Structure 1
Amino acid sequence: MLKRWWIWGPLMLLALFAYLLLQFFFSTLRIRHAVEPLEARQSGDGRLRHVVLISQELDNPFWRSVEQRNR
């Protein structure tokens, strides 16, 4: 019985590792596919882009300083 555990245990761990690695790979491909249209849109016309940041606090000192710098 102990010999079976030494065979199936590492095989199960290897299968779990391979599954997680494949999930990471596919999620990376999905993210890359979602970002490609954004990169193509930004490179062409040279217009000024606006970034909207939503913070959880209304009076966050960091974002107030960013707001003051961008005026």
Structure 2
Amino acid sequence: MEEGARSLVFRLLKRLFGKIAKEVLAKIEALSLEELEALALALLEFCAIADWEGWLQGQARREISRAEKVYNARA
């Protein structure tokens, strides 16, 4: 299922923006199924590849926040 979601995201990005940089593809490879699904929905609102970069930065901030909450709950 994860590979199908990843393939869909790759196709959507290519259709929206043409050729995709290798570093972008590598970052997509590292996404979880949950993140791929969120990205697929977010792609509907992207107008430029910069939107992808902003989404990815926001994703990283959410992961850090989630990790901090788990850590604090255990402390």
Q: TM-score, normalised by structure 1?
A: 0.39
TM-score after normalising by structure 2: 0.37
The structure whose RCO (Cα within 8 Å, separation 6+) is larger is 2
Q: Which has the higher helix share?
A: 2
